[in-house]
Copies of this chain bind each other. A is one copy, B any other.
């Protein structure tokens, strides 16, 4: 069942959609110039929040699943994007080694892998799967829901290369975020292309850096369009070594939280938004660290955490307005290299918390935008807008990876002062 996202939206988002549609050539050219300077991440899935008055990326996964959600009609787009990416990165490539997450073996997750295999096979690569789990003595067949299967084979290291038996890949595609750390078998692979690079793994990404790079990108984009960056960028702050115990540490935290809530309240007033602002708190450490907290009043902070994390990110909460029946819906945009190749929806439970997620195909993603249609009324136009914000998030991730690239630090260290 494919939902038509026709939630009636009014206000700033419709103006945003209109502005984006009117500026389509300028926006595309702006991205094109960015890609001359920055390498897009190899693939990504960006979860968005559409509040009706604000549209912001919620999460940017660099080892995405969910490709089985792409409709059959979108797959040629993904294949073409994969071809373009391969041409740029490794045009002579023959073999691709796909490394899935050992912890992700549900039917859906395997179906996503099967789709990736299909896409890269059609793009011109021989694809085989290698197992990160240790002690896999022999190949294992993983059954797929459609009756097919995937063969998972033991990884081998030989002469500094990562291989399978009788399979030497030029390219290795990680579909595992390595949240628990980089295993030895993946280190120092200097002769092969590792996509995405190791410093993209969850254990090494800093949620704080992504917020900062995204803000930078959002501000420059907003300047291009002559619009308020707030419409696409949640306000945020970073609190170092917060204390949740009563006293000076807690006061500092509450002061920062109050400051953001006040700014958000003012924005809501300026835009005539009749909602209650709230904050989302996340530890600023490893991305894999447990959950976030929703806070509506700085007084709630007391006693939230124990001794407190090393640093805390305080981010403006963005409510979700997109609905399917009564359940809140979060669109997810899939990208291969710089190209938007499809979308899906996560349908959240009515309570608002992500208790149960059911992915559904995003209708009309396979159609071109239609400038001139009434804002808010056209699903392809809305999807184009989502694609623009998703690409901003992905661009921010590519900035982030550039800045955290260990080789870059070596390079800069080597430069004469």
Show the binding face of A for B, using Cβ within 8 Å. Answer: 24-29, 31-33, 35-36, 72-73, 75-77, 79-81, 83-84, 86-87, 91-94, 118, 121-126, 339, 366-369
Sample (15) of A-B pairs whose CB atoms are under 8 Å apart = A24-B121, A24-B124, A25-B124, A25-B125, A27-B124, A29-B92, A31-B124, A32-B83, A32-B91, A33-B91, A33-B92, A75-B367, A84-B84, A118-B368, A122-B369
**A25 neighbours in B (Cβ, 8 Å):** 94, 121, 124-126
Question: In whole angstroms, how far apart are the Cα atoms of A29 and B369 in the complex?
Answer: 33
**A83 neighbours in B (Cβ, 8 Å):** 28, 32, 339
CB proximity of A23 to chain B, nearest CB, Å: 10
Interface centre among A91, A368, A369 (most CB of B within 10 A): A368
Extra contacts, 16 of them, besides A24-B124, A28-B83, A29-B124 (Cβ < 8 A), are: A24-B122, A25-B121, A27-B124, A28-B122, A28-B124, A29-B93, A32-B86, A32-B87, A32-B91, A32-B92, A32-B124, A75-B368, A76-B77, A76-B367, A80-B80, A80-B339
CB proximity of A130 to chain B, nearest CB, Å: 18
**A80 neighbours in B (Cβ, 8 Å):** 77, 80-81, 84, 339
Q: Which are the 4 A-B pairs with shortest beta-carbon distances?
A: A28-B124, A29-B124, A75-B368, A84-B84
**A77 neighbours in B (Cβ, 8 Å):** 76-77, 80
Question: In whole angstroms, how far apart are the Cα atoms of A26 and B95 in the complex?
Answer: 10
CB proximity of A42 to chain B, nearest CB, Å: 16
Interface centre among A84, A86, A92, A94 (most CB of B within 10 A): A84
Select from chain B the residue with minimum beta-carbon distance to A368.
B75
**A125 neighbours in B (Cβ, 8 Å):** 25, 28-29
**A31 neighbours in B (Cβ, 8 Å):** 124
Question: In whole angstroms, how far apart are the Cα atoms of A25 and B116 in the complex?
Answer: 14
The answer to whether A368 and B72 touch across the interface, beta carbons within 8 angstroms, is yes
CB proximity of A103 to chain B, nearest CB, Å: 29
Interface centre among A94, A118, A366 (most CB of B within 10 A): A366
**A368 neighbours in B (Cβ, 8 Å):** 72, 75-76, 79, 118, 122
Question: In whole angstroms, how far apart are the Cα atoms of A75 and B366 in the complex?
Answer: 8
**A121 neighbours in B (Cβ, 8 Å):** 24-25
**A36 neighbours in B (Cβ, 8 Å):** 91-92
Select from chain B the residue with minimum beta-carbon distance to A338.
B83
Select from chain B the residue with minimum beta-carbon distance to A79.
B368
Question: In whole angstroms, how far apart are the Cα atoms of A122 and B340 in the complex?
Answer: 13
Interface centre among A86, A124, A125 (most CB of B within 10 A): A124
**A28 neighbours in B (Cβ, 8 Å):** 83, 122-125
**A369 neighbours in B (Cβ, 8 Å):** 122
Question: In whole angstroms, how far apart are the Cα atoms of A63 and B72 in the complex?
Answer: 31
CB proximity of A70 to chain B, nearest CB, Å: 11
Select from chain B the residue with minimum beta-carbon distance to A372.
B148
**Given the interface contacts A28-B124, A124-B25, does A366 sit within 8 Å of B76 by beta carbon?**
yes
**A87 neighbours in B (Cβ, 8 Å):** 32, 35
Question: In whole angstroms, how far apart are the Cα atoms of A368 and B74 in the complex?
Answer: 9
Question: In whole angstroms, how far apart are the Cα atoms of A79 and B28 in the complex?
Answer: 11
CB proximity of A415 to chain B, nearest CB, Å: 27
**A92 neighbours in B (Cβ, 8 Å):** 29, 32-33, 36
**A79 neighbours in B (Cβ, 8 Å):** 368
CB proximity of A186 to chain B, nearest CB, Å: 25
CB proximity of A393 to chain B, nearest CB, Å: 19
**A123 neighbours in B (Cβ, 8 Å):** 28
CB proximity of A144 to chain B, nearest CB, Å: 14
